Amino acid sequence: MAGTRRVSSVWTRESKDEQPALSPGQIVTEAIRLLDEEGLEALSMRRLGARLNAGATSLYRHVSNRNELIELIVDEVYQEIEVPEPDTPEDWRASVAVCARSMRAMILRHPWIAALLGMTGLSYLGPNVLRLNERMQQRFEAVGFEPREAANAISALVSYVIGMGISEAAWLTLVARTGETESAVHASLQPAIERAVRTHLDAPARFLGPQFRDPKRNRDEKFEYGLDRLLDGLATRLD
């Protein structure tokens, strides 16, 4: 019978005692800087090694391949997400909303993360991801959610934020490539938007009003609407 193949992940490898010149923190920090400056396409072990004045072989002391590097990067940016302590357990909704907005802000600061989230099968084993989940679990259980339902509520919340974030990140990446502001790019697309809406919708006026000409405000309102409805639904589970 064939042996079981080990899952390749930075979180399943045993750490080594040796202390090489480069630290994992240095590698991940520079990788994030590279991604912020040049995007996902620029990320390679060779390119990263050059920025660190080290050969790619030096990086392989910490990560076996690019996928393991991505796992470390994803876990690092999760550290930016805020989970405030509520004043009282009953204030769980405000605390959870702050966390959701903080996660969204992290995605929009690092639009490339949207693509990476689909490439990290064991991201839930990262220490920062585990700490985030633990804090959120405590918030939900403190107000009365059963442990399993609390875990499912966290999954639903994170899935919503990531889903919205992926769409926003794709748009903002397109905007960044033009070198123009978001409003300027949206205005330049307005004629095409109007043609598409008039062709495919019965009531185009609803989608062409002044409120839709401010793309950032429109994005914010959509996110808040969905977040409020999600929290409304979770709140009914406490009744």
**pLDDT tens, position by position, 49-94:** 889 888 767 787 878 888 888 889 999 999 999 988 877 777 899 9
Whether residues 193 and 231 fall in one domain:
yes
| Range of the structural domain that residue 60 is part of | 24-64
Q: Which residue has the higher pLDDT, 223 or 173?
A: 223
**Residue 197 exposed, middle or buried by CB count within 10 Å (0-12, 13-18, 19+):** middle
Alpha-carbon span 237 to 239, nearest angstrom: 6
200 pLDDT more than 60 = yes
What is the mean pLDDT of the segment spanning 133-142?
92
Asked whether residue 196 falls in the same domain as residue 112, the answer is: yes
If pLDDT is split at 50, 70 and 90, which confidence band does 163 have?
very high
Are 144 and 198 within one domain? yes
Same domain, 93 and 130: yes
In a domain, 74, yes or no: no
Residue at 83 is within a domain: no
Q: What is the CATH number of the domain that holds 197?
A: 1.10.357.10
- Based on the fold, state whether residues 99 and 180 are members of the same structural domain: yes
Rounded Cα gap, residues 217 and 80, in angstroms = 23
- Total-model pTM: 0.82
Q: Which residue has the higher pLDDT, 68 or 29?
A: 29
Do residues 47 and 106 both lie within one domain?
Answer: no
**Does the residue 8 lie in any domain?**
no
8 Å CB contact between 128 and 76 = yes
Quickly count helices (H) and strands (E) in the chain: 10, 0
Q: What is the Cα–Cα distance from 140 to 138, expressed in whole angstroms?
A: 6
